Structure 1
Amino acid sequence: MADVKRETERKYESHQSGLPDLTGVGGVTAVLDKGVVELDATYYDTPDERLAADGVTLRRRTGGSDAGWHLKLPVAPGVRDEIRAPLSDTVPDDLTALARSRVRDAELVPVVRLRSVRDVRHLVDTDGRLLAEASVDAVTAERLTAAGGLTQWTEIEVELADGGDPAFLDLVDKRLRKADVRPSKSPSKLARALAETAPKRKKGKAGQKGQRGREAAPPVTAGDHVLAYLRAQRNAIVALDPAVRRDVEDSVHQMRVATRRARSALRAYRALFDRAVTDPIGAELKWLAGELGVDRDREVLAERLTGDLAALPDTLVSGPVGDRLRIWAEGRRGGSRSRLLGVLDSARHMALLDALDALLADPPLRGPAGKKPGKVIAKAVRDELRRVSGLVELAIDTPPGQDRDVAVHEARKKAKRARYAAEAAVPALGDPAAVLARSMKSMTQLLGDHQDSVMARQALRELSAVAHAAGESDFTYGLLYGREEQRAATVEGELPGAWRKATSRASV
C-alpha cells in the first residue's frame, strides 16, 4: 500500500508580495528561508469531474521533495489524507482502487495542469522544531480538456507540521488577517483552477454525480426529507469505501451502519416509493451489510470473550484458553479481508452504487411522498414502533430458551429500524423524533447485549469442543458460558421495565 500522510493546512488569497512576518506567533522564534521550488502537477478526474465534486484530488507531480502520485481524501475542513505512490506513467493500481467508489467504470483523464513557483518558509520554535511550513505559491493553471482555459493567481499556504497542534494554525490565521490576508474562497488549487477555467455554461455544474456536486434544495415534502436521509447514507457509503480498503479503524463498522440506515429508510418509508424499484435495492443493501459484518461480528465477540477471560483470577483459568481465543479470533481475518476487498471491487457492488445514484437522481416516488411531512413521516415512525412493541411483548411472554433468544433478536432488529426511521424524521418532526431515536438506541444496546451473549455461548461451545478433543480442560469455557447465561437472564429481567421507560417517552 502507498504511503499515507495526514495533511492539515490553510490557504489564503495573496494580494501582496511575500509572506507577512509570522515571528512570535504561537512560539515561532524564527522563519527560515528554504528556497524556491518549481512544481508541475497534472490532475486526473473523470470527464464529468466526479472526484472534484467530492473534494478528492488525484495528481501526478514532479518537483519538490515528494514527487510522485498523490491522492487526497477529505477528512474534515482543512484536513485531508494524502496517499502517495512513486512516479509512473499511469495511475497506480492502489490509488485507482481507492477512487473506485467514485470513479466506477469511468475513465480517468488529465483535466488540469498546475505549475507553481513555491517560495518556502519553515516556522520553527526555540529548539528548531518545525511548527509549520508556509509558502507563497505563484500558480499557473491550464485546463487540459477540449474547452481549454488558462488562469493565474498567487496564494499563501500554511501546512501544519506532522503531529502539530491545529490550534497553532488559528494563531497564524489571526496574524494573517491582521495583515489583511484573507482565507481562500476555494478549498484547493484544483477547485479554483476548475472554477476559473470552466466555460461559462458549465460553471458550478462540474461533478454532478459527486457528493457535493448536486446541492439539494431544503426538504419540503415527506419525500424530500426521506431522500435527504438516503442521500446522506449513500454519501457515507461512498466516502467510507477508501477507508475500508485502507483498513482504517472503525471504517467497516461505520460503512455497515450507513448501509443499514439506508435499507431501514427504504423499509420504514416504503409507502413513499415504488417498491418494484426500492425492494431490489434494499435486498442489495442487506447483502452488502452482511459482507461487511463478517469480520466485525467476530471482532466484537472476540473483544468480549477476551475481556471476560482477563477479568478471571488466574486460579480459574485452566489450559491455554487465551491462545485458543486468539487463534479463533484471527483464524479467518486474512481470508475474509481479501473477500471484502473483492466485494468492494465487484460488479455487484458497483451496480448497487449506481442504483442508489439513480434512485436519488430520479426518485420513484408515490403519492404520499408529495404531502407535507408531519403526518406522513409520523405515521411511518409510529408503525415501526408498533412492530417493535409486538416483538418485545412476544419476547417477554416467551419462556427462556432458544425461542426467546430468537424473539429478542428479532425485536432488536426492528428496534434498530425504528431508531433509524426516527433519525430520518428529526428534521421534519424535531424533538419528539430525536427522543424516540435515543430511546430506541438504548433498547438496541440492551437487546444487543443479549444477542452478543447468545453468540458468545455458541462460540464457547465450539471452543470447548476443540479443547476437549485436544485433551485440554474445558472448565474455564464452562465458567464463561455460565456467566454469559447470567448476563442474558439479567437482560431478560430488565426488558419489561426498559421497554416501558422507552415507550413512555415516545410521543411522535
Structure 2
Amino acid sequence: MSTATFAKHDADLSSGEVVLEALRTRTEQLWDAEHAVLDGLPDAVTDMRVITRQLRSTLSGFSRVLDPEATRSAVAELAWLGRQLGEENDTHAMIKELHRLLSALPRESSVCHVAADVERELGQRSVQGTHVTQAALASRRYAALREALNQLLADPPFTARAAKPAVKELPRSVAKAMHKLDRRMAVAEALPPGPDRDEALHEARKADKLLRYVTEIAAPVIGKPARQLSRQAKKLQDLLGDYQDAVVTLPVLHKLDAASAAGGHPVAIYSVLDTLEQARIDRVVNKLPRRLGSLHDKGVWLSRSRRPHDRAPSA
C-alpha cells in the first residue's frame, strides 16, 4: 500500500518518536494500574495484566526501533510480572465462566451442589492468587522493574532505524508481527487435537496479541488499514481466548468431578459442563479458518513491507 493512505499530519514523525510516546503512555498506565490493584478496585488485576502485556509488546514488537539486547531484561521481567498477575486474573475469569454455564442450567439440587463446589475450590485459588499478586508488587524484583522501565524512558536504546520516518518504518514492524503469527498458526494447524495443539494455539494467541498491540501503536501514523487490521486481530484474539478458557477450565471440572464422586455426590452435571466446554473448543476450531482469512484480507497491504519469504500462507 502506498503511503498516500497514511495520516498526513503524522507524516513527519520518526519511528522513534512514535514508539517512545507509546512506551511512556503504557508505563504511566502501568503505575496507575498498580495503585488500583493495591486499592483493591474491581478488575484492577485484569487491567494491570493487560497493560503489562501491552508494554511488553511495545518493547519486543518494535525490535527494529529499540535495541533488543537493551530491552531483553525488561521484557523478561514484564513476562514474570504477567505470570504473577495471571493466577488471580485467570481464577476470576474461570469463576465467571462457570457461573455463566451453571446459570443456564435448571436450578436443582445437583446444580446447587456443583455451584458450592466451584465457590469452595476457586475461592481458595482466588485468595492464593491475591497473595501472589500482593507479594509480587511488594518485592524487590518489581521495584527493580520499575527502575528499569524509568531508565528506558530516560535513555531509550534506539537503533539507527529510530530516525526513519514512522510512516515507512512502522509497517515493517507490523509485518514482522504478522509473520510471527503466521508461523505459530502453521505449527498449530499441523498438530492433531491434544495438549500439544492446545499449547501451540496458546502461543499463537500471544503472537496475535503482539500483532494487535503493535498495530494499535502504528495506527495513528498508518491510518485506516492499520485500524482495520487491529480490529481483526482483536476478533482472532477473542476466538482463541475462548479456546484457551475452555482448555484451562476442563481440568478444574475433572478435579471437581473426581472429588464429588469420591464423596458419593451426583456427578452428572460435571459431564454436562464438560460437554459444553468441549463444544466450545469445537466451535473455535470450526471458526478459525474464516477468522484467519479475514485477518489476512485486512493485512494484504503489508505485502510491500515484507520480504518474499515472509509472505503469509493462504488461509
TM-score range, shorter-chain basis?
Answer: 0.7 to 0.9
Q: Which residue matches 1:268?
A: 61
Q: Which residue number in structure 1 is paired with residue 6 of structure 2? A: none
Matched, 1:373 2:166: yes
* CA-CA distance at 1:315 after TM superposition: 5.7
Say whether residues 1:444 and 2:237 are aligned partners: yes
1:293 alignment partner, one of 86, 92, 107: 86
Which residue is 2:310 aligned to?
none
The residue number in structure 1 matching 2:150 is: 357
Separation (CA, whole Å) in 2 of partners of 1:304 and 1:265: 30
Residue 192 of structure 2 corresponds to residue 399 of structure 1: yes
In structure 2, the residue matched to 1:252 is 45
Matched, 1:384 2:177: yes
Distance 1:390 1:339 in 2: 34
Question: C-alpha distance in 2, partners of 1:487/1:469?
Answer: 28
Which of 303, 315, 332 aligns to 2:96? It is 303
Q: Which has the larger radius of gyration?
A: 1
**Equivalent residues of 2:105, 2:111 under 8 A apart:** no
Contact 2:15–2:169 (Cα < 8 Å) also in 1: yes
- Provide the rounded CA distance (Å) in 2 between the counterparts of 1:231 and 1:345: 23
- For residue 158 of structure 2, what is the amino acid of its counterpart? L
Structure 1 residue aligned with 2:281: 488
Q: Give structure 2 stretches of 5+ with no counterpart.
A: 1-10, 303-315
Q: 1:334 to 1:407 in 2, by over 3 A?
A: closer
- Runs of 4+ in structure 1 displaced over 4 angstroms? none
Aligned to 1:323: 116
Q: Which residue of 2 aligns with 1:408?
A: 201
Report the Cα distance in structure 2 between the residues aligned to 1:242 and 1:429, rounded to whole angstroms.
Answer: 34
Quick one: distance in 1 between partners of 2:196 and 2:128?
33
Counterpart amino acid of residue 228 in structure 1: E
Q: Percent identity?
A: 33
Normalising by structure 2, report the TM-score: 0.88
Q: Decide whether the 8 Å contact of 1:419 with 1:441 is kept in 2.
A: yes
3-state SS of 2:64 partner: helix
The question of whether the paired residues in 2 share the 8 Å contact of 1:395 and 1:404 is answered with yes
Aligned partners of 1:457, 1:332: CA distance in 2, in Å? Answer: 16
Gaps of at least 5 residues in structure 1 are 1-217
Report what 1:48 is aligned to: none
Over residues 167-199 of structure 1, what are the superposed CA-to-partner deviations in whole Å (9 max), with x where a residue is unaligned? xxxxxxxxxxxxxxxxxxxxxxxxxxxxxxxxx
Deviations 1:302-331 (A, max 9, x none): 110111012112469467111100001211
1:470 to 248, 255, 263: 263
- Aligned positions, number: 291
Q: Given that residues 318 and 473 in structure 1 are in contact (C-alpha distance below 8 angstroms), is that contact kept between their aligned partners in structure 2?
A: no
The CA distance in 1 between the partners of 2:111 and 2:172, in whole Å, is: 56
Aligned amino acid, residue 464 of structure 1? D
SS of equivalent to 2:92: helix
1:459 matched to 2:252? The reply is yes
Residue identity opposite 1:282 in structure 2: V
1:225 touches 1:427 (CA, 8 Å); kept in 2?
A: no
* Residues 152-163 of structure 1 mapped to structure 2, 5 A cutoff: none
**Aligned-residue RMSD, C-alpha:** 1.8
3-state SS of 1:325 partner: helix
Asked if 1 retains the 8 angstrom alpha-carbon contact of 2:26 and 2:51, the reply is yes
Contact map agreement 2:110 2:266 (CA 8 A) in 1 = no
Question: Partners of 2:111 and 2:125 in 1: how far apart?
Answer: 25
**Distance of aligned partners of 1:426 and 1:314 in 2 relative to their CA distance in 1, 3 Å threshold:** same
Higher fraction of strand:
1
TM-score of the superposed pair, with normalisation by structure 1: 0.55
Quote the offset at 1:230 in angstroms. Answer: 0.9
- Determine the C-alpha separation between the residues in 1 that align with 2:66 and 2:297: 31
Q: For 2:157 and 2:230, how far apart are their aligned partners in 1?
A: 27
Following the alignment from structure 2 to structure 1, what is the Cα–Cα distance between the partners of residues 12 and 217?
12
2-structure distance, mates of 1:398, 1:276: 33
Rounded to whole Å, the distance in 2 between the matches of 1:375 and 1:418 is 17
Per-residue CA deviations over 1:446-465 (Å, capped at 9, x if unaligned) read 00001111111111111112
Contact 1:244 1:251 in 2 (8 A): yes
